[in-house]
Amino acid sequence: MKYRVNDGCIGCGLCESTCPEVFSMGDAGMAVAIDAEVPDAAMASAAEAKDSCPVGAIEEA
């Protein structure tokens, strides 16, 4: 499974703090997801980051 962050991102950083293996803050101050399959060890925290996003900006890709 992969994730992507859509244009609705407000740059709060919650996803990065929840799952830094998958999400980081990009140069524009908005979150970005790795362009690879989520590692098995990060599946639960990546799903938690998606579910916790206050604006629903994280989608399954």
Mapped onto helix, strand or coil, the DSSP state of residue 55 is coil
Residue 61: the pLDDT is 92
Q: Tell how far CA 12 is from the center of its chain.
A: 11
Residue 27: the pLDDT is 92
Q: What is the pLDDT of residues 9-52, one digit of tens each?
A: 999 999 999 999 999 999 999 999 999 999 999 999 999 999 99
Q: Does the pTM exceed 0.75?
A: yes
Contacts 24+ apart (CB under 8 A), 22-26: 22/46, 22/49, 23/49, 23/58
Q: Domains of the chain (ranges plus CATH)?
A: 3-60 (3.30.70.20)
Residue 50: the pLDDT is 98
* Residues 14, 55: Cα–Cα separation, whole Å: 11
Residue 9: the pLDDT is 98
* Residues 19, 8: Cα–Cα separation, whole Å: 19
